[in-house]
């Protein structure tokens, strides 16, 4: 699978779009706000800047795309005022893969600039926003051009499916699974970890070349606190999606071989795995590394239209299952459509909502969000 070509969040503003189904990602951004603000403040404390380079990597599209940038600008503005120094010129780069819906972001820029001018008297001549399409697993920006980098809900995506899995299509190593599970052999777990280490190391090396000394970076991505890569906290959403796919295979709606040959280009690392790669690569100092629990549906309120004549607990589970299915569909539909075809997608996510709702009836369901703050070494 050519991840760079097929991975993108659902475009536009329709019912299955990422723009309308990204409340979980917004929650992830919000829990990291204080860490982001501290990093920006420290960046300005160490540097008197005429021009400040800022990048958001994996910006996607929709209302979340400019939310982080707005928060960063707020912090730069407040810190500059407190220190009594001129506001630096802001060079803001929004990055994602080429298939991203950049037009959705650009259309919202006039309103963003208007609000910036009204609230802070910052015009377009003081804040330059541009789109930078490309993979962050490699260089994206000129050397020493960035002072602050942010990335949220992106680095759990790998640059490719682990080579070992991609090269054994005729004899699948991870039969019946689409990601790591309790039934996956050790070789599959090792392959995913190796791919993550390679990718994250390349990411860090690339950013180190693009950042100034004492530049700061805050990264948030799905992870785990368990040492076991097959633990429910990092694998269950994929496990349930595999169950939905297998139920369709049993009815002849999908070939089981198609499921066996699909492997998600994704890895949820442990905090220790993240720390180990950072220390081995050597370009950054870790300021903090924290883990947060995030509910699968982001704590979204349930739809009250379902309240009548249905037991509240069952209704909540059903409604939350639907919400999770919409969230996951907005993120992975592009990959699934390329592999399985367009016609199975609606039925697949109908079934996925049901199995997720059933899972909610048995247990609480939370993801682990890792947030790491880093400083570029001298």
Question: Over the stretch 278-298, which tens digit does the pLDDT of each residue have?
Answer: 999 999 999 999 999 888 877
Report CA dihedral (340, 343, 347, 348) to the nearest 10 degrees. 10
* Residue 20: predicted pLDDT: 64
* Residue 128: predicted pLDDT: 92
Pairwise CA distance, residues 204 & 190, whole Å: 21
* Residue 312: predicted pLDDT: 45
Which residues in the chain land under pLDDT 50?
300-314
Which domains does the chain carry?
3-376 (3.40.50.150)
Ranges assigned E (strand) in 58-137: 89-96, 127-133
* Residue 189: predicted pLDDT: 92
* Residue 309: predicted pLDDT: 38
Query: Is this structure's pTM higher than 0.85?
Result: yes
Q: Please report the sign of the dihedral spanned by the C-alpha atoms of residue 93, residue 370, residue 331, residue 336.
A: positive
CB atoms within 10 A of CB 172: 17
Pairwise CA distance, residues 326 & 322, whole Å: 6
């Amino acid at each position: 699978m050519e991840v760079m070509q097929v991975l993108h969040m659902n475009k536009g503003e329709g019912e299955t779009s990422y723009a309308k189904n990204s409340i979980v990602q917004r929650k992830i951004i919000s829990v990291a706000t204080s860490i982001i603000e501290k990093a920006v403040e420290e960046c300005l404390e160490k540097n008197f800047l005429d021009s400040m380079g800022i990048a958001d990597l994996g910006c996607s599209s929709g209302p979340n795309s400019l939310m982080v940038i707005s928060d960063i600008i707020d912090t730069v503005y407040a810190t500059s005022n407190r220190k009594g120094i001129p506001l630096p010129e802001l060079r803001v780069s929004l990055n994602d893969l080429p298939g991203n819906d950049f037009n959705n972001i650009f259309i919202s820029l006039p309103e963003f600039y208007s609000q910036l001018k009204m609230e802070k008297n910052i015009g377009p001549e003081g804040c330059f926003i541009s789109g930078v399409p490309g993979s962050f697993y490699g260089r994206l920006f000129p050397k020493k051009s960035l002072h602050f980098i942010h990335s949220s809900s992106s680095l759990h995506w790998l640059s490719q499916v682990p080579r070992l899995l991609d090269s054994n299509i005729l004899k699948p190593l991870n039969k019946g699974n689409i990601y790591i599970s309790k039934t996956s052999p050790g070789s599959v777990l090792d392959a995913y970890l190796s791919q993550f280490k390679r990718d994250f190391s390349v990411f860090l090396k690339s950013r180190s070349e693009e950042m100034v000394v004492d530049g700061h970076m805050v990264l948030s991505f799905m992870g785990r606190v368990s040492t076991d890569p097959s633990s429910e906290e990092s694998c269950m959403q994929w496990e349930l999606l595999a169950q939905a796919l297998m139920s369709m295979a049993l009815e002849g709606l999908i070939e089981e071989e198609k499921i066996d040959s699909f492997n998600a280009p994704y890895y949820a690392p442990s905090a220790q795995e993240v720390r180990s790669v950072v220390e081995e690569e050597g370009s950054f100092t870790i300021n903090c590394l924290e883990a947060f629990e995030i509910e699968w549906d982001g704590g979204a309120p349930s739809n009250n239209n379902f309240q009548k004549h249905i037991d509240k607990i069952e209704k909540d589970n059903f409604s939350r299952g639907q919400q999770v299915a919409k969230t996951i569909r907005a993120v992975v539909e592009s990959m699934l459509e390329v592999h399985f075809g367009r016609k199975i997608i609606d039925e697949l996510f109908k079934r996925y909502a049901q199995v997720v709702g059933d899972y909610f009836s048995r247990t609480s369901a939370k993801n682990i969000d890792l947030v790491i703050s880093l400083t570029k070494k001298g």
